[in-house]
Amino acid sequence: MNELFGTLSDGTPVHRWTLERGGVRVRVLSYGGIVQSVEVPEGAGRTVDVVLGFPGLDGYLAHPEPYLGAVIGRYANRIAGGRFSLDDRTYALARNNGPNSLHGGERGFDKRVWDVTPVAHGLRLSRVSPHGEEGFPGRLAVTVTYTLGESGALRIGYEAVTDAPTVVNLTNHTYWNLSGSGHADGHELRLAASRYTPVDTDLIPAGEPADVTGSRFDFRTARKVGTGYDHNFVLDKGPTGAAEEVAELYDPASGRTLTVATTEPGLQLYTADHLSGPFSPGAGIALETQHFPDSPNRPGFPSTVLRPGEVFRSETVYAVSAP
């Protein structure tokens, strides 16, 4: 189902699409590719929304910084100093996070209106990011496909091609609260990651990945998440051709479980300590599957370089199970 959701100040219409399968209902906006809601069965014919979202377009325009539910690109996470070098050329990016570039710059993919085409059990969103957009080189053609599996699992598939060497790191910034309200810091997390990337005061990786053993970053056995996380975890499986399960988030209050499978080598855990406006700090938990922050400046990290003739592909699957 497709309906008008609102209109931007320049007159551009924003539409909302509704997907339903396996008892799950997902609403997606053409603005930012935003996952506005994920409703799961609660019993007696009722549903509960387990992600954070605004009821109208005005909320997203007034509060852009949480990136609620949005597609993030060209480069998810931070690039130190808003600069990187590729093939002996240095590129200056928009600095929108102190000295750094964050989530694609001042007007990343989260603030663009995407073309939307229905596909079997889902939607295909597409846009072309022109050469030089937010300082990134190359004309990048991107598609993001949302589909629902038979049981209602949400699959997000990404593809991109370029006409010049560039860097790409795409993710989705949905915040999960399996209770549907209140705080999510009581959720329990299991994460298949033996290492994480320590960061400096600007949240840029400081040195090499560190062992999680004996630290608050050890989620190899499920435990309460708490607060104070905005860190990349190095997934034990590394980059893979097919999505593999890497995380499980459990809510003792509702009995619901979210599983995350991905092809990506990293996962950014963000406990939303800085949410403001209608949402209080800790109202949701973001589990952003992606490559590592500042990879264009870190030769030892998995590469985010995309060249002409190559195809960037990535897949993540979020599945919520009932108690």
Q: What is the mean pLDDT of residues 177-182?
A: 96
Q: What is the mean pLDDT of residues 193-206?
A: 97
**pLDDT tens digits, one per residue of 204-232:** 999 999 999 999 999 999 999 999 999 99
Q: What share of the chain is helix, strand, coil (3-state, %, to 5)?
A: 5, 45, 50
Q: For residues 23 and 321, give the distance between their C-alpha atoms in angstroms, rounded to a whole number.
A: 11
Q: What is the mean pLDDT of residues 87-109?
A: 97
CA distances from 163 to 86, 307, 314 (A): 15, 7, 19
pLDDT at 43: 79
pLDDT at 45: 80
pLDDT at 18: 98
Which of the residues are catalytic? 173, 288
Q: What is the mean pLDDT of residues 185-210?
A: 97
The answer to whether residue 14 scores a pLDDT higher than 80 is yes
> What are the structural domains, with CATH classification, of the chain?
2-321 (2.70.98.10)
The C-alpha torsion from 126 through 130 and 133 to 135, rounded to 10°, is 130
Average pLDDT, the chain: 97
Confidence of residue 135 (pLDDT cuts 50, 70, 90): very high
Confidence of residue 276 (pLDDT cuts 50, 70, 90): confident
pLDDT at 84: 98
pLDDT at 323: 77
Euclidean distance between the first and the last CA atom of the chain, given in angstroms as a whole number:
29
Amino acid at 51: V
Question: Do 82 and 92 meet the contact criterion of CB atoms below 8 Å apart?
Answer: yes
**pLDDT tens digits, one per residue of 30-82:** 999 999 999 999 877 899 999 999 999 999 999 999 999 999 999 999 999 99
Confidence of residue 322 (pLDDT cuts 50, 70, 90): confident
Q: What is the mean pLDDT of residues 129-138?
A: 98
Element spanning 60, H or E:
helix 57-62
Q: For residues 257 and 269, give the distance between their C-alpha atoms in angstroms, rounded to a whole number.
A: 17
Query: Considering the entire predicted model, what is its pTM?
Result: 0.97
Residues near 207 by beta carbon (within 8 Å), at least 6 away in sequence:
198
Name the nearest CA neighbour of 310 among 178, 200, 162, 144.
Answer: 162
pLDDT at 133: 98
Residues near 184 by beta carbon (within 8 Å), at least 6 away in sequence:
175, 176, 177, 178, 225, 251, 271, 272, 282, 283, 284, 285
